[in-house]
Structure formats: C-alpha cells, structure tokens
Amino acid sequence: MSISVDNLTKRFGGLTVVHGISFTVAKGEFISLLGPSGCGKTTTLRCIAGLDDADGGEIRIADRVVSAPDKGIGVPAHERQIGMVFQSYAIWPHMTVAANVGFPLAIRKVAAREVEKQVDDALEIVGMRHLRERQPSQLSGGQQQRVALARAIVGRPRVLLFDEPLSNLDAKLREGTRAEIRQLQRELDVAAVYVTHDQEEALSMSDRVIVMDSGRITQTGTPKELYRRPANRFVADFVGRASFIDVARVNGSGWTTPGGVVLRIDDAGAPAAARYQAMLRPESVAMVRGTASAAAGDTANTLHGRVVESQYLGAHTEYLVDVSGARVKVHSREDFDLGTEVTLRFPAEVCRLVALSDAPA
C-alpha cells in the first residue's frame, strides 16, 4: 500500500473532528474524500501530509510509519515524500516560476544543478517550461495552478495530495484540468488523495470515493457503486440527483408508498433500519402523458402524478412530479406543461431501497 490510514483521530482543543477513520490507497490509485463543508476532509489530508499532528491512530506512506502519536512518531512533512496542491495554490509572489517549483528541493539541500534539471522536467510535464522566468503576477489563474502542480510533482513524490485544487478555476478550465491531473497521476503511477465537496468531480476522476460526514466515513466505493447503491440517505442525497419516496414493508416481501401503491424495489443487502425510502435517479424514470395503466405481465413500477415544476437545463428538462405522498424528479427531453397529468414508469432495479439512519424508531 502507498498510503494506509488506520484509526486516525484528530482533535482541535476539546473537539474531535476526525473520529478514528481508516482507509488505504494502492500505488497508482486515485481516491477522493468527498463530503460537505466541515466534515474533516482537509484535516485528514493535512494529517497525512504532516501539516497537522494526529492525536491517535497510525499513518503509513510507502510502508513507513510517518505518524503514530501513541509511539511518539511524527515524521516532519518534508520527509514524507509527498507532493501537495492547495486550493489557494500557495505560490510565492516574489519568486519566479522556476524558483517556486524548485523550492521543495532547495529546502532539502539538493544541489543547484540537480534542482535546475528537475524543475525543467516538472515544468515540461505541465507544459510551462517556456514560462520558467515569469513572476506569478504575470500568469493567469490556470497557469498559476500549473506552477502549483509542477511544484507538487518535482522530486518524484510517492504520493500526491490535492485539496480542492480546481475551485478557483472557471467551469470550462476546471473540466480540462481534471482530465490532465488524472493523466499526470497515471503517468507518475503514484497514489493520490483528492479532497473535494464537488460530487461530479469525485465521480468523474476517482477509482474509489470515500464519503465523509461529521468526521466519519459513511461509505467507500467505486463511483458506480456509490451512485447506484448508496448505503444510506446521506450518500444518496450527496452523490448525484435523487428523489425519495417513503416506503413501508407489506406482507414481509413487498413495499408500499403512503399513497398505497405497491413498488418493486432493489432491496438486496439494505441494512436494518427503523424507516426506509425508495430512491430514484431522475434519468432512470420514464414519463408519459395521461394515466396509462400497466399492461398485463408488465413488471415495471407505475406511478401517476402531476407536473408541478420544471427547470430547463439544455440537454433535458428537470420536472418535479407530485405523486401522492412524494415529489419525484424526472429528466425528459420532451416538453410538458405545468399541471399535466403524467404516468411515471421505472423498473425495480433502478428503484433502490435506502435506510434513514437518523430516523426515529
């Protein structure tokens, strides 16, 4: 394993902000820490980097224990063989591009000629070699971001750590840079941990995503696993667009809505809980006009409702449909007026049972 985090705990004053989390990252693997503001993503990353001191647990980088407070181990950041990119880039305005990129080597007392060579290599990789003598104030935001990236990879780190590195870029540039970061990380074949609160970024870039909530891990999985089979309502809500319909078990096998409609649901492996909901992704629900009833032998679920809101999004329109007892989001390329009576249809496999973890018994 390139990175192994075991039972990591971090407190600020009396407050515990990371509650004994554990995960590993293999060589060449790209994982994201995804979660809402304040859930402990940056803190976790800073503990791995050695910028914050952990209070408990153990962190290994390339099989070396770099943090184990119980044993008095706390390897300083510059000895951890990591490269890190921050949201703010943190490049020094009074130094040239080349001096910024070479800084981590200079503080490790690497010989000047070797620094020059490695700086040129790193700048070449990010396509910035021709700008090596510029001052940061003479660069665009995207170019400054590349300087930060070059500085992270100079000296060939064992692991790369990213803390929301793209949030200062405009949408178009952000998309292109995502792909470049991923390509760069593949070429270097190093482990990467990428912190983001942007679920689209996490899904599109990662081999695996770790969803965090209040200093704990709620689910770890591939982007497809998280999207299709979220472990609970929190993950289902946070990853992608979704609607939720309250359901209750009937006769031990089926599920029924508050409106009395029996639904066929994918409930395999769902955890025991006091309350459940059925989750639907808007793109997996088909919508037609009128109140058609299911043909004999048809196994798809059917709900009747009325369009109550619509939001035109270019490629499709997102409709909100009021079915008795719930509001369902539906993506459609067709036009429906508000108030239109519609029938929604969806197969059992796209209707996923989720547990309400915080529900009263």
Ligand X SMILES: Nc1ncnc2c1ncn2[C@@H]1O[C@H](COP(=O)(O)OP(=O)(O)OP(=O)(O)O)[C@@H](O)[C@H]1O
The nearest distance, CB 181 to ligand X, in angstroms, is 18
Q: Near ligand X by CB under 6 A, which window of 33-41, 129-137, 280-288, 330-338?
A: 33-41
The nearest distance, CB 39 to Mg ion, in angstroms, is 9
Residue type, 154: V
Phi, then psi, of 331 in degrees rounded to 5: -95, 130
- One symbol per residue from 24 to 63: x for binding Mg ion (CB under 5 A), - otherwise; what is it? ------------------x---------------------
The nearest distance, CB 194 to ligand X, in angstroms, is 12
Q: Which is nearer to ligand X, 30 or 86 (CB)?
A: 86
Residue 98 engages ligand X in binding (rule: CB under 6 A): no
Which of ligand X, Mg ion, none lies near 178, with the C-beta cut-off 5 to 8 A by kind? none
- What's the CA gap between 153 and 82, in Å, rounded? 8
C-alpha distance from residue 17 to each of 44, 55, 197, 340 (Å): 9, 11, 17, 48
Name the residue with tokens 């070059």: 150
Q: Which is nearer to ligand X, 40 or 282 (CB)?
A: 40
Q: Near ligand X by CB under 6 A, which window of 39-47, 112-120, 154-162, 262-270?
A: 39-47
In 131-143, which positions are buried (b, 16+ CB within 10 angstroms) versus exposed (e)? bbeeebeebeeeb
Number of H helices, E strands in the chain: 8, 21
Integer distance in angstroms from the first to the last C-alpha of the chain?
41
Query: The sheet that has 64-68: what strands, in order across it?
Result: 15-25, 3-12, 56-61, 64-68, 73-74
DSSP state of 166: T
- What's the CA gap between 55 and 1, in Å, rounded? 22
Q: Near ligand X by CB under 6 A, which window of 40-48, 148-156, 201-209, 288-296?
A: 40-48
Which of Mg ion, ligand X, none lies near 287, with the C-beta cut-off 5 to 8 A by kind? none
| Residue of the chain from 22, 27, 38, 271 that contacts ligand X (CB under 6 A) | 38
Which of Mg ion, ligand X, none lies near 17, with the C-beta cut-off 5 to 8 A by kind? ligand X
| Residue of the chain from 2, 32, 42, 206 that contacts ligand X (CB under 6 A) | 42
Residues that bind Mg ion (CB under 5 A): 42
